[in-house]
Structure 1
Amino acid sequence: MSTTLLFVTLACNASFTVLNPTTTPNPPTAAPLPAATAVPLLSQQVTLVPQPFEEVSQSPIYTIKSQTPQLTGSDDPRVLAFNQRLTALIEQEVDLHRQGFLQNPVTPLTNGSFLEVTYTLISQHSDIWSLKLDFSFYSDGAAHPGHYSGTVNYDLGQGRELALGDLFLADTNYLETISSYCIAELEKRDIGFESGFQQGAAPTPENYSKWNIAPEGLIISFDEYQVASYAAGPQTITIPYAELASVTDLQGPLASYLP
């Protein structure tokens, strides 16, 4: 009797185990990692605006007006450095002309002197900003007004101003390449280039200190009297990037412009 009861008990326990198996807990599901958020370029966080300045003197008579490019929208040290660089550059030129104007007679020979400073944003690609500054001036008693330019090419991401050599491979004579192209273009123009102005386009750093990065090519600026007479005016030449491909640093600022 007891044997039969034991068998029935075991059978029932076995049936219960089969019908009600022990539940194995599932391993915890790992929480999904948050998607990486792309950090916007510093240049996407700022806006370029003009900072106006005007100074008027009656003794001697002169007027100074300037527009200084400044970035707003961020207190990043790289933005502050950009603004300081442009401010210092323009203030230096303003002070130079002011000191000259103050040497003029109190009683003007004409309508007095003036300086006007303007700027143009040639391009802004990624974190590379390329600006041209134009200075127009007249000193009382001079035969005619004068004009000259300056350029600033700035890598905002790296927080530094670019030199022309930063665009090209270190072991190449990029100035020869640039000069040869410019000379060929200047010779096509009716500006009297071959009448004593060739030296202004020779492959020296001084001759090619004014340049801008633009979508269509590298823009070289020559001021009055550098490669032509005053009457012919300033000259600009745009060199297609394809013409510079053999000397361009493929890891440098022009990499994205190459064909």
Structure 2
Amino acid sequence: MDVTRHCTAALLGVALLPTLAVGAGFDCERASTPVEHSICADAELDALDARLAELYRAARERLVPAEREALRQTQRSWLAARNRCGPHRDCLRAQYLQRIEALAPPRARLTHSGPHYQLEASYPVFAGAPETINRAVRAFVQEQVDAFLASTEELLADPEPPLGPAWSFALEGEAGHRTDTLQVIAFEGYAYYGGAHGMPLFAPLLLDLSEARALDPAELFRADSDWLARLARLSRAALAGRDLLGADADWVNQGTAPVAENYQLLLPGPDGLTVIFPPYAVAAYAAGAQRVLIPYAEIDDLLARPLRAP
């Protein structure tokens, strides 16, 4: 067990009353309360605490500042209820499961199977949001699914289709960074059409909250800016120090060239803009996808809208 693990209370970002929990997380070697000892000594409770910490962090990132205080207050109340369990494992476990269920965002699932293939997609549902927002998310997912189904129909129509193991498509979306006007949903997954291996999928959804529509990556930038050239330069500089398993300069330069098709996978986040280069874009499949984080300070002058959370 990692004795420097920070428990859920650390995510509150404030010093809570001693009767609730330590404010900055605790070193399990220095655990002093029955609750702390119980969590540190139990593998399942430790895992539940880590899962709750992840969900709490994600929930905060989905909210604008005005909504975060309400979340923090509900977390304070939960911590008080959890600590009233004392060292009783069943009580602690029940409290964690209840809070995890409360913080886990609702999701929708889409499944389908056909001749020699199966697919599954899941995506977040935004409770309380206008229906136009959820409709836009569903439409985006359906677009990805329809593309897979069209490919399978084309392959199956071939007199000698590339069969072998069943083909598959899996896509999962997670709500991430949010500003007053933008909700980022990171869709990732895997598609297999036969052969030695499938391909990882990356499909960021940049959802304009005011118009309930998916943004083209170019819409993040001013129309009169040379944003492609800037991203190309910064991406090449970031990739220069990496082990790309033998990829030569021509490969990297082609994959990072300042053309729109190389910069379709953009993920705004709290610390900057992540550019995703899928396998084969700048290196061999074995090197995996390459992600480059570009701090906003490097591109603020190019942006058409603020991407930092307010």
TM over 0.5: yes
- Quote how far apart the aligned CAs of 1:101 are: 6.1
Matches within 5 A, 1:8-87: 49-57=106-114, 60-74=115-129, 76=130, 78-87=132-141
Q: Is the 8 A contact 2:169 2:192 kept in 1?
A: yes
| 1:119 CA drift (Å) | 1.8
Deviations 1:159-215 (A, max 9, x none): 232233333333221111111000111111110252523211001111101101100
Structure with greater proportional helix content: 2
Of the three residues 249, 254, 258, the one matched with 1:199 is 254
Give 2:275's aligned residue: 220
After superposition, the Cα gap between the structure-2 partners of 1:256 and 1:222, relative to the gap in structure 1 and judged at 3 Å, is same
Counterpart of 1:5 in structure 2 is none
Cα pair distance change 1:102/1:254, threshold 3 Å: same
Q: Distance in 2 between matches of 1:196 and 1:79?
A: 39
The 2-side partners of 1:254 and 1:107 are apart by 45
Q: Which amino acid aligns with 1:49?
A: P
RMSD: 3.1
For 1:238, the equivalent position in structure 2 comes to 293
CA distance in structure 2 between the aligned counterparts of 1:108 and 1:169, rounded to whole angstroms:
45
Measured after TM superposition, the shift of residue 128 of structure 1 is: 1.2
What corresponds to 1:8 in structure 2?
none
Is 1:124 the counterpart of 2:181 in the alignment? Answer: no
What are the ranges of 5 or more consecutive residues in structure 2 without an aligned counterpart?
1-63, 68-103
Separation in structure 2 between the aligned mates of residue 255 and residue 108 of structure 1, nearest angstrom: 46
Q: Which has the higher strand share?
A: 1
Q: CA deviation at 1:110?
A: 4.1
**Offset of 1:123 from its aligned partner?**
1.2
Instruction: State how 1:140-159 maps to structure 2 within 5 Å.
Output: 140=194, 142-159=195-212
- Of residues 236, 239, 251, the one that matches 1:183 is 236
**Which residue does the alignment assign to 1:23?**
none
Hey, what's the Cα distance between the residues in 1 that align with 2:189 and 2:309? 31
User: Is 1:135 the counterpart of 2:189 in the alignment?
Assistant: yes
Provide the C-alpha distance between the structure 2 equivalents of 1:94 and 1:49, rounded to a whole number of angstroms.
25
Cα distance 1:71–1:91, how it changes in 2: closer, same or farther (>3 A)? farther
Aligned partner of 1:229 in structure 2 is 284
Task: State the 1:109 CA deviation.
Answer: 6.0
1:190–1:109 CA distance, 2 compared to 1 (3 A): same
Distance 1:253 1:154, change over 3 A: farther
Quote how far apart the aligned CAs of 1:99 are: 2.0
Partner SS, residue 94 of structure 1 = helix
Q: SS where residue 246 of structure 1 aligns?
A: helix
C-alpha distance 101-65 of structure 1, shift in aligned 2 (>3 A): farther
The structure-2 alpha-carbon separation of the partners of 1:68 and 1:97, relative to structure 1 and needing over 3 Å to count, comes to farther
CA shift digits 1:61-105 (9 cap, x unpaired)? 33212113433434x353254234324323323323442564589
Q: Distance in 2 between matches of 1:104 and 1:167?
A: 41
Give the counterpart letter for 1:92 in structure 2.
Answer: D
- Is 1:90 aligned to 2:147, yes or no? no
Deviation at 1:234, TM superposition (A): 0.8
The structure that has the greater radius of gyration is: 1
Alignment check: 8 A CA contact 1:224 1:230 kept: yes
Percent of aligned positions with the same letter in both sequences? Answer: 24
* 2:109–2:122 Cα contact (<8 Å) kept: yes
Instruction: Give the TM-score, by structure 2 length.
Output: 0.58
Question: Structure 1 residues 92 and 68 mapped into 2: Cα distance closer, same or farther (>3 Å)?
Answer: farther
For residues 138 and 216 of structure 1, the distance between their equivalents in structure 2, rounded to whole angstroms, comes to: 33
> Cα distance 1:102–1:255, how it changes in 2: closer, same or farther (>3 A)?
same
Q: Distance in 2 between matches of 1:50 and 1:193?
A: 42
Aligned equivalents of 2:121, 2:275: Cα separation in 1: 23
Q: Match of 2:260, SS?
A: coil
Instruction: State the AA in 1 paired with 2:276.
Output: S
Unaligned runs of 5+ in 1: 1-40
Displacement of 1:120 in angstroms is 2.6
